[in-house]
Amino acid sequence: MKKILVLMPVEARHKAKLEAAGTGCSFTYSTPAAVTAEEIRSANIILGQPKADMIAASENLEWLQLESAGTDAYIVPGVLSSKTVLTNATGAYSQAVSEHAFALTLMLMKKLHLYRDEQKKAFWSDHGTVSSLSDSTVAVVGLGDIGQAYARLVKAMGAKVIGVKRRASNPPECVDELVMTQDLDSVLPRADVIMSVLPNTAATRYIYTAESFDHMKNSAIFINCGRGNAVSSEVLAQALLEGKIASAAMDVAEVEPLPADSPLWGIENLVITPHISGGFHLPATFERIVDIAAENLQAFLAGKTLRNEVDFTTGYKK
């Protein structure tokens, strides 16, 4: 009888779904904050996100289903035993994050951040020309589920979409053109919007350098909804303050929470949201995560292949 530890904020209907998928297993429900080391040590399956250092490479743990798409904390050597299968929740966040990035894109194009600032000062003043996706080229850097969902949104408003991904493939329907990540520099000068949704891997760390921003149009909008360390705070601040690009938005920061004394907070043409595009902010997201967990639980117990199994060498799903 498999011992299953559930650390997701499940309600009765979610429990019913999981227990139906795991008939005959024993279920323990807790939270990442309340769970004990002994509960983690004895679990054969964990659904949810314990603190990585509490897992301590437990030999009992056969499978860990994360509720996040990011896997960085769990692929560090020593966190999981080599026999533990790791799956993530890739796919569950695509709607929430893509819609957030899309809203940020339109906010910047229509200068709504500047009008909000003026409102606080009771100023009725005109900030001039705005732009439209209908005559824009959008580079989507990172073309997983989120990137593709975002590409579909901007394309529906008339944008030309260049998808940037690390592996060659046939271009999905949502992009007009596909470019390999190694050729990113060739895309930057052509893009009116650069929306980056890269995970945290050795290859994506600080991928945007000061030179990357030199390549961008002065009118470009840069949006980071992936991981904060794709660009250093200094490089981004400099690009904005020197007018290398027009404006930017970030839902992620190099250090989170962004320190209160960071100069980024005060940059007018930068919009900051506190890593809330994903999480469970959109109710549909959590429903999808439970669906993935239930589907995988059934597959695991039947000895079948799991959805979203993570490749430890890349941090991506296999």
Interface residue list for a copy of itself (CB under 8 A): 95-96, 99-100, 102-104, 106-107, 109-110, 112-113, 115-120, 122, 124-135, 153, 156-157, 256-258, 260-262, 265-266, 271-274, 276, 279, 281-284
315 beta partners: none
CB-nearer residue toward a copy of itself: 195 or 282: 282
- Smaller CB separation from a copy of itself, 231 or 251: 251
Nearest of 6, 1, 91 to residue 48 by alpha carbon = 6
100 versus 165: smaller Cβ distance to a copy of itself? 100
In this structure, how many other beta carbons lie within 10 angstroms of the beta carbon of residue 200?
18
Measured from the CB atom, is 266 or 303 closer to a copy of itself? 266
Distance CA 49, CA 6 (A): 9
Could you give the CA distance from residue 242 to residue 265 in angstroms, rounded to a whole number? 16
For a copy of itself, which is the closer residue by CB, 2 or 110? 110
Minimum distance, C-beta of residue 116 to a copy of itself, in the bound complex (Å): 5
CA triple 73-74-75, angle to 5 deg: 100
Task: Compare residues 81 and 95 and give the one whose CB is closer to a copy of itself.
Answer: 95
> Which phi and psi angles does 26 have, rounded to 5°?
-100, 135
In the complex, least distance from residue 164 CB atom to a copy of itself, rounded to whole angstroms: 24
- Of 272 and 299, which CB lies nearer to a copy of itself in the complex structure? 272
As measured in angstroms, the least distance from the Cβ of 110 to a copy of itself is 4
Return the CA Rg of the chain: 21
Q: How far is the CB of 9 from a copy of itself (least distance, A)?
A: 13
Query: From the CB of 127, what's the least distance to a copy of itself, in Å?
Result: 7
Q: What is the DSSP letter of 258?
A: P
- Reference 62, options 294, 296, 313; nearest CA is 296
Q: How far is the CB of 277 from a copy of itself (least distance, A)?
A: 8
CA distance 5 to 42: 9
User: What's the token pair of residue 168?
Assistant: 């060659």
Which among 197, 210, 191, 215 is positioned nearest to 143, based on CA atoms? 197
Measured from the CB of residue 256, what is the shortest distance to a copy of itself in angstroms? 7
3-state SS class at 310: strand
